[in-house]
């Protein structure tokens, strides 16, 4: 993670840098005694975290945050907690009282790490879903051959120990794989796992009868562990 420090006291900047040196996952990109230079740097560069002094003569930290259209995560610093309420109103990451202790600094920075990890996971999930949705078919290895199966042709997928039976009109394709792996590959918006042994395409569901799904003449059970997710998807499609 990249951070900057904005504080009008050079001694306070050096003290904070000394503490940050003990955090291998955090790097100080720049430090500023002029808050306007710091604000300009934030607008022009990628910054994960800002350590911002509240009590500065040219513009205080609260006013600087309010004037910042591109706002990274901010940890406010002050000599007293008089400004803490303003920090909470502006939804800053944390508020630290000077002189800073390493323990308190670590707790504040760990909040930032957790948020960054959640953002990263969200981006990974979105990217994976976009990748899955970019094709309308899947290539399946069966025996010595690899065949193309269009998503729209899949009636349902059935897991049997170490292999899967993919049911399509007129035939069944058998492939050596796990249903869990197959679930990760299939697009979430088109398919749903309804049982430890079954994945079904939402578009092929003819009816839902108690705890079973009808796809043509085949009745597929809905497992207790999968009811919640299945019901949410069905509810989003219901009128």
pLDDT tens string 183-199: 988 988 899 999 999 99
Q: What is the pLDDT of residues 214-237, one digit of tens each?
A: 999 999 999 999 999 998 888 877
- Higher pLDDT: 52 or 185? It is 52
pLDDT band at 34 (very low <50, low <70, confident <90, very high): very high
Say whether pLDDT at 86 is over 80.
no
- Higher pLDDT: 123 or 108? It is 108
DSSP string, the chain: -EEEEE-S-HHHHHHHHHHHTT-TT-EEEEEESSHHHHHHHHHHS--SEEEEES--SSS-HHHHHHT-SS--EEEEEESSGGGHHHHHHTT-SEEEESSPPHHHHHHHHHHHHHHHHHHHHHHHHHHHHHHHHT-SEEEEEETTEEEEEEGGG--EEEEETTEEEEEETTEEEEEE--HHHHHHHS-TTTEEEEETTEEEEGGG--EEETTEEEETTEEEE--GGGHHHHHHHHHHH--
Share of the chain above pLDDT 90, in %: 59
- Higher pLDDT: 57 or 144? It is 57
Domains of the chain by start residue, with CATH: 2-131 (3.40.50.2300), 137-237 (2.40.50.1020)
pLDDT score for 126: 58
- Higher pLDDT: 70 or 232? It is 232
Say whether pLDDT at 239 is over 60.
no
pLDDT, mean of residues 129-133: 56
pLDDT score for 9: 95
Give the residue among 53, 57, 97, 98 at the shortest CA–CA distance from 74: 53
pLDDT score for 144: 79
pLDDT score for 71: 81
Say whether pLDDT at 131 is over 70.
no
pLDDT band at 130 (very low <50, low <70, confident <90, very high): low
pLDDT score for 67: 87
pLDDT score for 210: 82
| Of 2-16, 17-31, 91-105, 118-132, the least confident | 118-132
Give the residue among 87, 74, 89 at the shortest CA–CA distance from 3: 74
- Higher pLDDT: 239 or 138? It is 138
Say whether pLDDT at 26 is over 90.
yes
Q: What is the pLDDT of residues 87-115, one digit of tens each?
A: 777 888 899 999 999 999 999 999 988 88
């Amino acid at each position: 993670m990249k951070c900057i420090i904005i504080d009008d006291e050079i001694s306070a900047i050096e003290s904070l840098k000394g503490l940050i040196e003990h955090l291998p996952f955090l790097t100080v990109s720049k430090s500023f005694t002029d808050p306007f230079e710091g604000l300009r740097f934030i607008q022009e560069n990628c910054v994960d975290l800002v350590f911002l002094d509240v009590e500065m003569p040219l513009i205080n930290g609260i006013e600087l945050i309010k004037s910042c259209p591109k706002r990274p995560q901010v940890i406010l610093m002050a000599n007293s907690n008089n400004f803490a309420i303003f920090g909470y109103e502006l939804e800053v990451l944390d508020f630290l009282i000077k002189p800073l202790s390493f323990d308190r600094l670590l707790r504040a920075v760990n909040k930032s790490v957790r948020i960054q990890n959640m953002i990263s996971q969200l981006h990974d999930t979105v990217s994976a879903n976009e990748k899955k949705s970019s094709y309308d078919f899947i290539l399946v290895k069966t025996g010595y051959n690899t065949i193309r199966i269009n998503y729209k042709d899949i009636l349902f997928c059935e897991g049997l120990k170490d292999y899967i039976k993919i049911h399509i009109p007129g035939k069944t394709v058998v492939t050596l794989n796990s249903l869990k792996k197959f679930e990760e590959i299939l697009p979430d918006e088109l398919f749903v796992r309804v049982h430890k042994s079954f994945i079904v395409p939402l578009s092929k569901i003819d009816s839902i009868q108690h705890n079973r799904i009808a796809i043509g003449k085949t009745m597929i059970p809905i497992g207790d562990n999968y009811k919640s997710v299945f019901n949410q998807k069905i509810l989003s499609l219901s009128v």
